[in-house]
């Protein structure tokens, strides 16, 4: 009986979930399947969410780690939202593959700025996480050695550039706003003439989602971030919740993954979702709590988002019909 359930107040972060770049990337695969039929090849996970990837696989998308796994084909080959090194589209062109670039436009902005700095003889210091696809893609925009990666302020202390070496910095788009500010401050303290981006590289969606978590985290007993472990922006949301004072914050992909030893005796819960997590998974998590609790959901909104990115040109209706 519902009356016997303990009460649970869920504070739902807004904005949460899909950003414009993720919507564009997923739509690119869906549209390519619709226009050209399966298979559609996708290099790397189109976005970092297993549910999304499995759903697209069922529709005929074939995910590969490298272009070498794509056979001789006229089928579309889509590059993921995280961006790719310049060598990848060059390889696709050499093999005459039908390549479609679904790189998020905000990642492309970072690529273009890195190229511009290189043209002006500035060495680029990239703030980001070693091995993340976005970082690999950005470093791959310039010749080897033209970009130096740093992750922390401690890494900045180890840099050995002379004061007269022209420098610029760029950042991965999905970092913690606070962590990045600390690294940027360290860079400016050591190299006062370092040049930054015209507009911050951390994307609007990352910033907005972190701000919503900061608002809610101090008010709840626990926080769930709906997202995949390999999603950088989702991991940052979990860290932001902990730093903002939430006693228990966990990354959870599906309702079945909830650890009831941690979440079985709470009165308030915060819920958000990383930029690559679909809303259906948020609903699944809330439904799992509703089976055990008498749930009341309140949405806490800290920003309105109206950003839209058009599909890659080859997939727009006017081009596809030609």
What is this structure's pTM? 0.91
Q: Is 179 in the same domain as 129? A: yes
pLDDT in tens, 302-315: 999 999 999 999 99
Domain boundary among 104, 125, 147: 104
Q: Burial, 76: exposed, middle or buried (Cβ in 10 Å; 0-12, 13-18, 19+)?
A: buried
Q: Is 89 in the same domain as 112? A: no
- Residue 260 bridge partners (DSSP): none
Q: Is 71 in the same domain as 26? A: yes
pLDDT at 1: 47
How far apart CA 286 and CA 10 sit, in angstroms, is: 8
> Does residue 308 lie in a domain region?
no
> Does residue 196 lie in a domain region?
no
Q: What is the mean pLDDT of the chain?
A: 95
Task: Write down the residue that tokens 């971030």 correspond to.
Answer: 225
> Does residue 28 lie in a domain region?
yes
Q: Is 239 in the same domain as 280? A: yes
Angle, helix 177-190 to helix 204-216, in steps of 10 degrees = 120
> Does residue 313 lie in a domain region?
no
pLDDT at 29: 97
Domain range for 185 is 106-190
Determine whether 134 is an active site residue: yes
Q: Is 89 in the same domain as 174? A: no
How far apart CA 259 and CA 292 sit, in angstroms, is: 13
Catalytic entry in 134, 242, 279, 318: 134
pLDDT in tens, 210-219: 999 999 999 9
> Does residue 310 lie in a domain region?
no
Domain CATH number, residue 281 = 3.40.1010.20
> What is the spatial order of strands in the sheet that 268-273 belongs to?
248-252, 222-226, 268-273, 7-14, 294-301
Domain CATH number, residue 60 = 3.40.50.11270
Domain boundary among 190, 222, 244: 190
Q: Is 61 in the same domain as 130? A: no
Domain boundary among 161, 190, 219: 190
pLDDT at 200: 86
Query: What are the phi and psi torsion angles at 78 (to 5°)?
Result: -105, 135
Q: Please list the ranges in the chain whose pLDDT falls under 70.
A: 1-3, 318-322
Q: Is 92 in the same domain as 64? A: yes
Q: Is 27 in the same domain as 55? A: yes
Residues 6+ apart with CB under 8 A from 141: 85, 86, 111, 114, 115, 147
Structural domains of the chain, count: 3
User: E strand or H helix at 242, and its extent?
Assistant: helix 232-243
pLDDT at 321: 53
pLDDT at 4: 87
How far apart CA 232 and CA 184 sit, in angstroms, is: 19
Task: Write down the residue that tokens 């226009």 correspond to.
Answer: 35
> Does residue 314 lie in a domain region?
no
Residues 142, 98 contacting (CB under 8 angstroms): no
């Amino acid at each position: 009986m519902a009356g016997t359930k303990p009460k649970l107040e869920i504070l739902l972060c807004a904005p949460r979930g899909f950003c414009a770049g993720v919507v564009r990337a997923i739509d690119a695969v869906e549209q390519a399947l619709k226009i050209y039929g399966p298979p559609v090849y996708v290099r790397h996970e189109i976005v970092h969410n297993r549910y999304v990837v499995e759903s697209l696989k069922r529709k005929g998308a074939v995910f590969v780690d490298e272009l070498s796994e794509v056979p001789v084909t006229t089928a579309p080959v889509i590059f993921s939202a995280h961006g790719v090194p310049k060598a990848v589209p060059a390889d696709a062109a050499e093999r005459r593959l039908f390549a479609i670039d679904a790189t998020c436009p905000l990642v492309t902005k970072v690529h273009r700025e890195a190229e511009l700095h290189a043209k002006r003889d500035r060495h680029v210091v990239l703030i980001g996480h070693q091995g993340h696809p976005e970082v690999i893609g950005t470093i791959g925009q310039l010749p080897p050695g033209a970009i130096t990666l740093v992750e922390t302020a401690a890494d900045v202390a180890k840099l050995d550039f002379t004061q007269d070496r022209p420098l610029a910095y760029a950042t991965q788009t999905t970092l913690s706003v606070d962590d990045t500010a600390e690294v940027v401050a360290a860079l400016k303290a050591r190299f006062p003439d370092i040049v930054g981006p015209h507009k911050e590289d951390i994307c609007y969606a990352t910033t907005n989602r972190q701000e919503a978590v900061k608002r809610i985290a101090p008010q709840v007993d626990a926080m769930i971030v709906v997202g995949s472990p390999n999603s950088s922006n989702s991991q940052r949301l979990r860290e932001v919740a902990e730093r903002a004072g939430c006693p228990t914050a966990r990354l959870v992909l599906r309702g079945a993954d909830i650890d009831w030893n941690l979440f079985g005796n709470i009165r308030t819960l915060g819920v958000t979702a990383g930029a690559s997590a679909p809303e259906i998974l948020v609903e699944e998590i809330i439904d799992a709590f509703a089976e055990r609790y008498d749930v009341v959901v309140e949405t806490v909104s800290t920003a309105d988002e109206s950003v839209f990115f058009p599909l890659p040109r080859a997939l727009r209706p006017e081009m596809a019909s030609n």
